[in-house]
């Protein structure tokens, strides 16, 4: 394919901020040239150097074309791959429609609207949404907190929305065992960093908090929690200073949890009004969509499409995560 910029080496010399800007705009360039999502990925891979998806080695050689697509082989571990291997677009049909789909998704369209606009069926629209959202999970590793960190427990209703009907026996068995709540640990600081984490439990425990904060908070952070037991009892070496706020103290002083409460209200509203609730199985995907929207996107369709695409295309574990999610049955915890 034609090169989009004259000298590829130019990209290596960009600062982090410039590189981000470059990739944010790459969507538009690719679209204007009538190219598709795989061309985009190729361009992205070329400009950062092709790495093996298994061992991350750069000792990679071209290994012939298959159905017109370039294959590569890793000289280190012998793995054969393409630039799309492991990414959310791996093995996709209608690859010419994916760029437009991401734009529709950025614009906040429903599954049905996305399907109609792009010209795919509703089922494919659903699968594509989750392919893309599965690719946002790695964004979690980039979230760190500074200064005053607010924590709160959010309990969501357990849901199997969209699940086809089971036989009576199964329903009876499930009713007995089904948990009614799924716990989410919500955290934000005062500089706009935010992360929610769905837990494999029906309430937040002290260990969850400790694990969650480990390597995410700076040394001089102050952790604020409500007066729930988990927040009171959590005590870890990495938490230097802790403030517990009860209902009476909530509005006083700088230590409080009102910022995280606002985020929780926004999240719950988004889930129940926009999507009319989501199945618990997909909750983590929607959480990361919310986090990325709040932290990374600007509410401008073209820019956001570029960013969403750049972020999603960088994840080479997306396909694995997506296929695991799709193969999971609706049995609680570990869902």
Give the interface with Zn ion as residue ranges (CB under 5 A).
52, 54-55, 57, 74, 76-77, 79
Give whichever of 80 and 258 is closer to Zn ion, judged by the CB atom.
Answer: 80
Minimal distance in Å, beta carbon 294 to Zn ion? 36
Place of tokens 């992360």: 195
Residue 308 structure tokens: 């969403």
Give whichever of 86 and 256 is closer to Zn ion, judged by the CB atom.
Answer: 86
Minimal distance in Å, beta carbon 70 to Zn ion? 17
CB atoms within 10 A of CB 218: 13
Q: Are 86 and 56 in contact (CB under 8 A)?
A: no
Give whichever of 54 and 303 is closer to Zn ion, judged by the CB atom.
Answer: 54
Q: Are 112 and 264 in contact (CB under 8 A)?
A: no
Give whichever of 28 and 76 is closer to Zn ion, judged by the CB atom.
Answer: 76
Minimal distance in Å, beta carbon 63 to Zn ion? 12
Minimal distance in Å, beta carbon 53 to Zn ion? 8
Minimal distance in Å, beta carbon 83 to Zn ion? 14
Closest by Cα among 119, 256, 244 to 188: 256
Closest by Cα among 2, 8, 329, 9 to 170: 329
DSSP for residue 68:
T
30: helix, strand or coil: helix
Give whichever of 54 and 320 is closer to Zn ion, judged by the CB atom.
Answer: 54
**Distance from C-alpha of 256 to C-alpha of 317, rounded to nearest angstrom:** 37
């Amino acid at each position: 394919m034609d090169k989009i910029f004259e000298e590829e080496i130019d990209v290596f010399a960009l600062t982090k901020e410039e590189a981000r800007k470059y990739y944010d705009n790459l969507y538009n360039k690719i679209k204007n040239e009538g190219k598709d999502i795989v061309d985009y990925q190729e361009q992205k891979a070329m400009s950062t150097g092709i790495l093996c998806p298994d061992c991350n080695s750069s000792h990679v050689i071209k290994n012939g074309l298959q159905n017109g697509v370039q294959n590569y082989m890793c000289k280190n571990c012998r793995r054969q791959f393409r630039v799309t291997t492991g990414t959310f677009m791996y093995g996709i049909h209608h690859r010419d429609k994916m760029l437009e789909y991401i734009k529709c998704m950025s614009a906040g369209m429903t599954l049905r609207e996305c399907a109609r606009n792009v010209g795919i069926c509703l089922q494919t629209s659903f699968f594509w949404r989750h392919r893309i959202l599965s690719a946002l999970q790695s964004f979690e590793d980039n979230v760190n907190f500074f200064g005053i960190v607010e924590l709160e427990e959010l309990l969501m209703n357990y849901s199997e929305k969209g699940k086809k009907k089971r036989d009576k026996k199964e329903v009876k068995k499930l009713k007995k065992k089904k948990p009614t709540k799924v716990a989410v640990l919500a955290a934000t600081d005062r500089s706009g960093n935010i992360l929610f984490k769905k837990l494999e439990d029906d309430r937040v425990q002290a260990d969850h908090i400790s694990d969650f904060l480990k390597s995410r908070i700076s040394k001089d952070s102050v952790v604020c929690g409500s007066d729930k037991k988990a927040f009171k009892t959590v005590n870890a070496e990495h938490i230097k200073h802790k403030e517990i706020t009860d209902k009476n103290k909530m509005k006083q002083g700088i230590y409080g949890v009102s910022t995280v409460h606002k985020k929780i209200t926004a999240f719950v509203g988004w889930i129940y009004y926009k999507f009319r609730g989501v199945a618990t199985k997909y909750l983590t995907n929607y959480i990361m969509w919310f986090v990325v929207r709040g932290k990374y996107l600007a509410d401008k369709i073209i820019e956001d499409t570029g960013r969403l695409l750049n972020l999603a295309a960088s994840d080479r574990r997306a396909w694995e995560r997506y296929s695991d999610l799709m193969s999971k049955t609706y049995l609680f915890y570990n869902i």
